Chains A and B, each alone.
Chain A
C-alpha cells in the first residue's frame, strides 16, 4: 500500500532509473491497482489524520489483545478436543495419571504438559482474554466520561457495547471448555440460574446440556459458540465499529487549533501505522511476558469435574464477578411458591437487575440526547468535569458495578481482613443502594468545584507563587495570566439549561415533556454559564492592568529602599546568585551589592 502513490503509467525509461527494489514495488503496485483500484483507497486513507491523546490508546489495547486471543486460540484448536468422552489420563503429569476425565480435560492437560510451549500459548490465550475484556471496559469508561458517544456516534456506542457483552460471552464459554472442577462448578451455577427462570428455565437447561446436568454435550456446544459463532459476530461487529470510527472521524480534545469542525493530528501513514503497529507488538509482548511469568487457571491442580468436591474461595474470571456478586447479595428467602409454581426471585432479581443495568448503559446516549434535544454533531471530547451530571451518573454506575464485583470476593475479603462473612455481605448490601447515591452527589460537587477552579484560572490567572509587598505593607500573591492556548482548554461552551415546558398546540403538556423537564432540571440546574469572548477580553485587560500596577508599585518600593540605602542607581532586577532565579527581588539583596556595579552571574556576598 505504501507505494501506491507511484504513478500507474510511468514510462519504462523512467522506471529503469530507479533502483531494482523501487522498480519492483512500483510494478507490483501498478499490477494490483489495475486489478483492484486500490490507489483510491490509499489516497483516501493513507494520509488520514488522527488526533493524539493517551486515552485513545485504551481501545487499541482491546483491539490488539483480541488479535492475540485470535492467534493463540487458533493454535490451541489444533490440539484441544472438545469432547466429554470419558478417558483415563496417561500424560506426563504424574499426579493425574490414571484419573478418569473427559477428553476435553485430557487434551487441555496434554497441551499444558506434553506440548513444548503449549502451556505458554494456553496462558497467553487466557491472559489475553482477561486483558481484552478489561481493555473494552476501560475504553468504554473513556468514551462515556468524555461524551464521545454523542451524535453521530450513538450507534457505535451500542455496537461497542454489544462487543463488550460478546467478549464476556467468549470469556465464559472459553473458561468452561477444559471441563475441570472449577469450570464445571461455574457451569453448575449457570445451570442453577437458568432453572430459576420462570416457565422456560427447566427446559432451556435441559436443552442446553442435552439432558441432565452435566451431560456429555455441553463442552462441544460451548466450543462451537466459542470458536465459530461468537467470534464471527465479534469480528463482523468489530469491522463495523472501526469503519464507523473512520467515517465519523475520531473525536479530539479541545485544544489550540482544534475545533468541532476539524481534526488535528498526525497522518495515518507513517505515524499511526508505526505507532499502532508498535502498540500491537507492545500489547502482545506484555501479555506474553505475563504469561511466561505468572500461572493462570492451573487446571492440573483442580482435576476433572465432579459434582461433589469444591474448594473454598473459588472465584470466576474477573469480568463475571459482578454477576456472581449480584447472586451473593440477595437476602435469604426470596423464593415463593405461587399458583403451584416456584418463583425464584433470588435468581430473577439479580438477573433482571443486571439486565436493566446493562440496558441502561447501552441506551444511555439516547436518553441524554432525548433530554438535551441536541441534534448537532459533537466531535470534541469533553473533559469529565464539564459534564458534571453525566460524570456523576457514571461514578454512580461504576460504584454499583464495583460493589457487585467486591461481593464476588466477599469470602476472600472476610478471611483476609478478619471480618465476619455476614458483616461483609450486609455492608455490601447497604453499599449497593447507598454507594451510588453518595458517589453521584460527591462527584457532581467535585466536578462543579473543578469547573469553578478552571473558570478562576481562565479569568484571573494562575497563582504564580510570587509574593509582593505593596507600599502599604500588604502582601499579595501575583496571579499570572495563562496563555491563550491554555485558556482555550479551560473554557467550555457546551452548556445546557433545564427545559421550560410549554403547552403544545392542544394546550396540553404531554407527560413525556414533563418527564424531560424534570430530568433536564436535575441534569443542568447546577451549572456555570458559558464564558464569552468579551468576558475573557475584559479579564485579560484587567489582569494586564493589575500586573502593571503591581510592577509600578514594586518599582517605587524598590527605588525607595535603594534611596534609603544610599544606592539610588542600583538595578531593580534580582541578582543572579548562580543557582536559580528564585531569589526574590528584595531590597536587602541589592543593598549588599559590591562597590562596583553588580554584574550578572556574580554571586552576592553573604553577610
Chain B
C-alpha cells in the first residue's frame, strides 16, 4: 500500500506510474512487521502431533477401504433386472464409496498440511510485472531488426497485399458454412407454410384419430394435429412438420366468442382452433383455463384470451395466436377450412 517507498518499482528512474486521483499521504501508516510465529498444539505437544499423524493415516486407509467398497458395490448391486430400485441402489452405493474415498483423501491431505507440515510463513518480494528496461530495449531492438531485415514497414505494397490476401483467404471458409442448411430451400417460405390445407381433418395428437365436432364437449381443450401428420415417419420430417402444425381446439359457448366479422365463419358452433405455437419464442401454449378461456404459455407466461381472438393479455408475446379456420365435413368431422392465413410461431425478420 505504501506506494511511495516500496521496492516494487525496480527501475524508478525510467518508470514512475501515475497515482492518478489517489490521495497523497505524506505520512502514511507504517505497516507492522510479521507477528511472532505462534506454535500450534501439534508443535508444542507431542501427543497432539501423534494424534494428528494417526488421524491422517487412518483417513488414508479409510479411503482405501471406501474404494474397495465402491468396487464391491459395482458387483453387489446389479442393474440388469431393470427395476428402478436396483438402479437407485447401484447409483447410491457406488457413489457413496467413491465419494467417501475421495473425501477421505482430501480431508487427510488438508489435515496433514494444516496440523503437521510446517506452518512457518515466508515472505517473498514482488517485482514490477513489466520487464526491466534493458529487456524491453532488447525486445524493441528485436522487432526493429526484424523490420529492417524484412522491409515490412518500408515495403508497403507487399505488406498491404499480404494483409488483403490473408483476410480474403478467410472468406471461402465462411462460404463453406452455407452448407450447414440444405440448398434450394428458403427458410422464409418454409416458415410461412404448414401442413394444414383445405379439407384436412383435425386429429387427436398423437394418435391421429379424426375428431367429430359432436365429441368436443363444452369447456374442453383438445390437442390437435393434421390427420395426415400421424402417417408421417420421423425420418420424413415428422417433428419439423409437427413443430408448425400443432393446434389447440377449444369449445366455448358460442355467445362467449367475440369474433370479428371477417373471421365469423372460422369457428364451428363455438369450437375454435388456434395454433399451439407461442408467438413469443415458440413454446407450446399448452395450458388452458376453461373458466376464463385463457391460454397460458408455461415458458414465459404469455396469456392469450381465446374468447377474444387469442389476443395477448399478458406476458412478452406481442401477437395473437394465429387462428385455423375450421368447419365440418359431411361425416361431421372437423376439417380445416383452409391453411393458416399467416405464419405460425415466433416472429422473424421477414414476417410482415
Contacts and interface: CB of A to CB of B under 8 A. Distances in A.
Given A208-B180, A332-B318, A342-B348, A278 B107 contact: yes
A284 B109 CA distance: 14
A534 B307 CA distance: 80
A191 B282 contact: yes
A552 interface: no
B314 A422 contact: yes
Given A275-B110, A421-B301, A485 B35 contact: yes
Contacts of A49: 122-124
A279 B110 CA distance: 7
B212 interface: no
A293 interface: yes
A327 B316 contact: yes
B322 interface: no
A202 B188 contact: yes
A285 B102 contact: yes
Contacts of B315: 328, 332, 425
Given A291-B95, A312-B298, A375 B20 contact: yes
B182, B243, B281: most-surrounded residue (chain A CB, <10 A): B281
A377 B17 contact: yes
A249 to B, nearest CB: 6
A119 B32 contact: no
Contacts, number: 407
Contacts of A383: none
A265 B281 contact: no
A307 B123 contact: no
B34 A380 contact: no
A306 B8 contact: no
Interface residues of B, number: 122
A189 B282 contact: yes
B191 A202 contact: yes
Contact of B347 (A152, A281, A283, A344): A344
A430 B294 CA distance: 25
B272 interface: no
A152 B1 CA distance: 15
Given A281-B109, A288-B102, A485-B35, A491 B29 contact: yes
Interface of A: 47-49, 86, 92-94, 100, 112-114, 116-117, 119-120, 123, 152, 185, 188-189, 191-193, 195-203, 205-215, 217, 221, 247-249, 254, 256-267, 270-272, 274-275, 277-286, 288-289, 291-293, 305-314, 324, 327-335, 337, 340-342, 344, 346-347, 371-377, 379-380, 410-411, 421-422, 425, 484-485, 487-488, 491-499, 520, 524, 529-534, 536
22 contacts: A123-B91, A198-B349, A202-B188, A205-B348, A206-B181, A212-B190, A249-B126, A262-B124, A274-B113, A282-B103, A285-B99, A288-B99, A293-B95, A324-B299, A327-B281, A342-B350, A374-B18, A376-B22, A494-B22, A499-B21, A524-B21, A530-B25
4 A-B pairs with the lowest CB-CB distances in the bound complex, closest first: A292-B95, A192-B281, A373-B20, A278-B109
Interface of B: 1-3, 6-8, 17-23, 25-35, 74, 77-82, 84, 87, 90-96, 98-110, 112-114, 117-119, 121-126, 128-129, 177-178, 180-182, 185, 187-188, 190-191, 205-206, 223, 225, 233-235, 237, 239-240, 242-244, 246, 276-278, 280-284, 286-287, 298-302, 312-319, 345-352
